[in-house]
Structure 1
Amino acid sequence: MANPPGEYRSMPVADILDSLAIQICEPPLSKLREDLRSIPEVLRIPILIIDFDIEVQMNGILGFLENSTGRYLTDTIDALETIAAHDAAKTLRAIHRIMSEHGVTVERLRNDFADAQEFQITSFRELHGDELSQMADLIVGEAGELYIYDPAAAQVFDLLLAYLERRRDEFVASLEACASA
């Protein structure tokens, strides 16, 4: 990791979180993301929330659900609940319910990519068919309630920082263990 683990002990939690967000796609953190359920909750929660936020900011809610980060939809909901981001968790639960009502899983959305070419530009409708267009519209409408689109909504990263502040030593120890693995 770019910052030596010893430096984390003297850094504010906000700076550590910023560092984590920058390094999340690089080894050794990128390896951890292959099986997030195997890492300590205090590290898993910020990774899930950062991944969710980045994906939705870049590709919208449908991009999140289609991407590998979508595999962790339920875990992301749990992470949001754990830090008390109840409104965001409620919105994601509603999105999950919409998918269930349409008989769609994240795995199905991911499988539709099997025949796509790398860097292929396509639309949700082209990739998943007309039958899922109504579901997509409902999901996008529901996602409008997320903090990402509503500046008046609860600030998820403020809640995440408060959660990590209360667990600072455990958070730093998890990062140190990750760096030495």
Structure 2
Amino acid sequence: MRKLTFGMNVSLDGYIAAPGDDIGWSVPSDDLFQWWSDRVGSTGLALYGRKLWETMSSHWPTADQQPGVTPAELEFRQRWMAMPKAVFSSTLSTSGPLGTLGAEDVNARLVTGDAVAEISRLKAEDGPPMDIGGATLAAAAMRAGLIDEFVLATAPVLVGGGTPFFTALDDWVNLELVETLTFPEGVVLTRYETRR
């Protein structure tokens, strides 16, 4: 059975984006960026919601052509392009590209059906770990009890509202802290595993 992890940069008051989808407060230090890059390099399959997909696919396929691109960004781009991706959306079309390039160029496929059923099917397979990203998609998986690990890179900022990391749940979810790392600018990364 595959392990499913939900991890994102998060404000101290629990948001992954401030009002207006502003993520300017979450620009990672070089060390944290490398941590996320290494994570992408070890992810067997990434599950993306539409909004996060649009953000990532509008930048990373052509990041190597941007002025001032760093070696770390080039490495992340290479890892991101190679990582298999499933994009969950009821509004994207298979007739057009899934991003700036065609789906085959970014190693992505579109899932338009029941997200929870597809995530459950993918988890039941043998294979490397999966990451899930995007607030709406992660919330559906969270409510269905499908997330095995939570990774929060908590920035020392209060944004006062926006898109929450955690969704409302019907039942408690007991977690076990398995790792804590501190990064420059006071970002604290915590990893929690779900106790079953």
What's the TM-score bracket when you normalise by the shorter of the two chains?
Answer: 0.3 to 0.5
Larger % of helix: which? 1
Q: Structure 1 length as normaliser, TM-score?
A: 0.35
